[in-house]
């Protein structure tokens, strides 16, 4: 089976544009890097928001707790 995915490389990571990449097991791949930069305008707003979110999370040295306090967003009140 052969698939082609469009995306961009940034800091050694591949970010797909459009559908998420779902590849199981080890597969032989060929990556072609084009001689054209991607502009931020080509990136979908949701993809950009998630990319920026994970960049901040990965750059943080704050320890992530194993359990979080439960929050009920359907009730009014002060957080």
pLDDT tens-digit series, residues 54-65: 888 888 888 878
Global pTM reads 0.41
- Report residue 27 as tokens: 């597969």
Residue 1 has pLDDT above 70, yes or no: no
- Report residue 62 as tokens: 């704050």
What are the residues whose beta carbons fall under 8 Å from the beta carbon of 30, sequence distance 6 or more? none
The Cα–Cα gap between 17 and 5 comes to 8
The Cα–Cα gap between 28 and 77 comes to 53
pLDDT tens-digit series, residues 22-77: 888 888 888 888 888 776 666 778 888 888 898 888 888 888 788 888 878 887 76
Tell me how crowded residue 67 is: count the other CB atoms within 10 A of its CB: 5
Domain boundaries, the chain: 7-59
């Amino acid at each position: 089976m052969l698939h082609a995915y469009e995306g961009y490389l940034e800091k050694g990571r591949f970010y797909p544009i459009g559908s998420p990449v779902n590849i199981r097991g080890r597969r032989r791949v060929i990556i072609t890097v084009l001689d054209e930069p991607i502009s931020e305008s080509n990136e979908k707003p949701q993809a950009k928001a998630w990319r920026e979110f994970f960049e901040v999370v990965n750059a943080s040295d704050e320890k992530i707790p194993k359990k979080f306090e439960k929050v009920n967003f359907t009730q009014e009140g002060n957080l």
